[in-house]
Chains A and B, each alone.
Chain A
Amino acid sequence: MRLPITGIGAVASIGRDADEIFRNLCAGQGGLGPMRGFDHDLYTGTQLFEIDDRPEPGVDRTLRATGFLLDAVGQAARDAGLGDDLSDCPVLVGTGLRELRSAELWWRDGVSFGPERLHFGTALRERFGTPDTHTFSNACSASLYALALGADMLALGEADTVIVAGVDSITESMFGLADRVQPEPPGALRTLDVNRKGTILGDGAAAVVLRREDLPPSDGALWGMLRGVGMTCDAKHPTAPDQKYVAEAIRQAHAHAGTKPADVDLLMLHGTGTPLNDLVEASAYAEVFGPDAGVPVVTGIKPMTGHTSGSAGVLSLVTALQVMATGKVPPLIGLEQPIEEAAGLRLVRGQEAEHQVSLAQVHGFGFGGINAVAIVEAP
C-alpha cells in the first residue's frame, strides 16, 4: 500500500499552523506555561501546554477543541487543493476527550451546551458540508486508529479522498485526576530520561489528507505515502501498557507496509514521559528491532507540545513528513540521561539534527491498552 498524503495541517501550543509548529520544534522551543483556563488554587500542578486562545486568563469557554479541529482540517484541505467544500470527503477524527471540556463547563457553570456537539460532526458539517464524519474516542492512540480506518476505506474503494484528523483540548477531569496522584508535579516532560516525572497534557489538533493510490496525481502537495498501520489491544489493564501487544502493533505495521525494521530511518516516539510508557515503549521497540535498533534516528515531540492525547499520533506523523521534506529532525529537549533500555538508540538530543529520511515509523499508545503504529514513506 502506498497512499499519497496530499495535505497537512496542525495547531498546538507552539504554533497556529504546521509550519510554525515545525520551526519551533526544530528550534527546541516548547510550549509549557502557566495554565490559563483552570484555577491555580485548586491544583498542585499549574503548568500545561495550552493553546492561548481564551478570552482572558482564568476564563474558559466552550468548544475550543472544535475550533482547533476546524483549523487543522481547513489547513490540510487547502494544502491538498480541496478548498472548503468537503461534501464528498469523509472526515475521520480521533480524540481522547471529545468536547467533554464543554460538558464540564455546562454542568459546573450552566453555560449553553448540547449533546449534538459532544462529537465533532455537527461543526464539520456546518463548516465543510460533509455528512460523512466519524468521531472515534480512542484515547491517546485515537488519531492513528482513525488513520488505519481511513486507509482501509480507500483500500476498499469506499472513497477517493479521506481526511484523517486528531484533536484534544485538556479536560479538568483528566488533568485533575492526574494531579490528584502527583504530589510533586513534573516541571518538564522528559521523554526517556531516567529522571522523568510523568506526562504533562497539551492542547492540539492535526490533520492529513489521504488519497487512493490508483488515482491520477492531485492538485495538492505530495508529502509522502502511507504504507501501513498496525492496531492491537492489550486487553490487560485499563491504564498500564503491556509490552507484548505494543511490540505486536509494531510488527503488524511492518507486515501491512511490507517493510522491515532495518528500512526505518526515523522513529517518532509516543514518548509521554511517564515512567511506565517510556520503559515499555523502548523495550517493545528493542524487542522487535533487535540488532537494527540502532539504525533509525529517534525523536519525539511531546517535550515541546505536551501530551496532546488523541491528536498526538497524527501530529507526530505530520512532523515526520516535515522531517522528510526538510532533512531536519527536532530534538528531544530535556533528555539528559537516557534510560538503560534506550542506551543504544540514536537519540536526537540538545539540538536539531540533519538526517535524510525515506521511511518513518510513528507510535501512538493509549489508555485501555490500545496501540497503533504507522509506517510512512517519503515521496
Chain B
Amino acid sequence: MSIFVTGVGVALPGADTAAALAAAVSPVGSVDPAAVLGKKGLRYKDRATQLGLVAGLRVLTDAGLWRDGVLNVDGNRVAVLVSSNLGNVDTACRVARTIADEGTRGLSPMDTPNASSNIIASEVAIRFGLHGPNLMVCNGPGSGLDALRWGAALLRSGRADQAVVIGVEPDNEIVRELVGGPVADGGAALVLERSEAAEARGATVHAEIGGHVRVAGPAAGYERLAAGEPAPLTGWFASGAAAEVLPAELPGHDLSAIWGELSGALGLVQAAAAIGGFAAGARGPVCLVAGSDDDDGSAALVLRPPAPAAPRPAAV
C-alpha cells in the first residue's frame, strides 16, 4: 500500500509555501496568524496553537480538502497528528511562577486549556471539524518524523482516510533559555493519504512516503533505509551532529542552520523543503534524518518524488 503526500503547508517567517521554503536562506519577519486566520477566536490561544492553525489551514487548502471554509471530505475519517516539544512549556512555567508569587488567585482560567500539551492538536480538530484519531507527539528531536510515521500507520491500519500531520515550535523567552537559542517560531504540515484514496479524488501528489526507521544513531538509520530503497538516495536533510555522519558526497540540507531550533517541527519542515525541491525539478528519493548520536533515538524517513505522469502510448 503506497502512502502519498497530497498537501503541503508552510508557516515560517518569510516562507509560506514549499517553494519559498526550498529557496529560503534566512528568516524574514514573523508569521502573523491574525493576518492568515482572522483575529476571531485567537485571543487566548497560545503561540504554538496559532502557528499550528496557520499550518493546518494552508495544508488543508493545498490538499483541496478545505474550500471556502468547508471541509469536503468526511471529517470522521481525518486524523490529526501534531508534533511539538516546546508548545506549552511557556504556559506551565509561567503559571508555576505566578503561583509562587501570588497564589492561584493570580491565575487566569483562560490558561487552563493551554496547560495540557495536546492543545494544538485539539484546536486544529475543532477549527476544521476533524473527528478522526487525534495525536500529540512530543518525542524529542525525531518527533516530526515520528509523527509522519504514525500518520502513515493510521492510514495503513484503516483508521483514517487522510492524516493531517503538523509540526510547529513557538519562540519565547522561556523556550529560548531551555534550548539555548532562538526557536524557529513556525513549522510546516503535510496531508498524507493512501494512494487509492488520493487517486479516487483526483488529488495532486507531491511525494510518496518511503521507508522509516527509528534506531540508535543517524548513520545506522540512513544505511538501513538506503539498503531498502529501490532507487539510490540522492540527498539528505539533517541538522547539527546528525549531518556530520551522513554521506558527504551527496547534497545535504541543514535547515536548523537557517531557521534556528526546529525541535519537533524539524521533520515536517524537512519534508516540506524536500517537496519544494521536487517541484523545482529534483529527482530521486531523499532521506530525512532527525536525532543524532547524542539523542535517545534517531528517526529517518525516505521521501520519494511523485512518479512522472504515465507516458502516452507511442503512436505507431
Contact = CB atoms under 8 A, between A and B. Distances in A.
Contacts, number: 225
Nearest to B106: A180
B130 A233 contact: yes
A115 B131 contact: no
A254 to B, nearest CB: 15
Interface string A111-151: 00011101101101100000111111111000001001100
A137 to B, nearest CB: 4
A136 B296 contact: no
Most-contacted residue by chain A among B111, B116, B121 (CB, 10 A): B116
B258 interface: no
A176 B150 CA distance: 33
Nearest to A123: B296
Contacts of B132: 231-233
A119 B139 contact: yes
A118 B153 contact: no
Interface string B65-90: 00000000001100010000110110
Given A131-B215, A131-B298, A103 B178 contact: yes
A122 B130 contact: no
A43 B89 CA distance: 22
Given A148-B133, A234-B131, A173 B104 contact: no
A152 B133 CA distance: 13
- Classify the interface of chain B: helix, strand, loop or mixed: helix
B316 interface: no
B297 A132 contact: yes
Interface residues of B, number: 66
B126 A238 contact: yes
A187 B59 CA distance: 47
Q: Which of B134, B154, B178 has the most CB of A within 10 A?
A: B134
A100 B89 contact: yes
Given A131-B296, A232-B131, A98 B138 contact: yes
Interface of A: 39, 41-44, 96-98, 100, 103-108, 114-116, 118-119, 121-122, 124-125, 131-139, 145, 148-149, 152-153, 155-156, 158, 171-174, 176-181, 231-239, 245, 248, 366-370
Given A115-B86, A177-B109, 19 more contacts: A42-B103, A43-B103, A100-B88, A104-B95, A105-B96, A119-B138, A121-B296, A134-B139, A135-B140, A137-B136, A152-B153, A158-B153, A173-B91, A173-B92, A173-B96, A180-B105, A232-B131, A232-B132, A368-B116
Pairs A-B, 8 closest by C-beta atoms: A368-B122, A107-B93, A104-B96, A131-B297, A137-B117, A121-B296, A233-B134, A173-B95
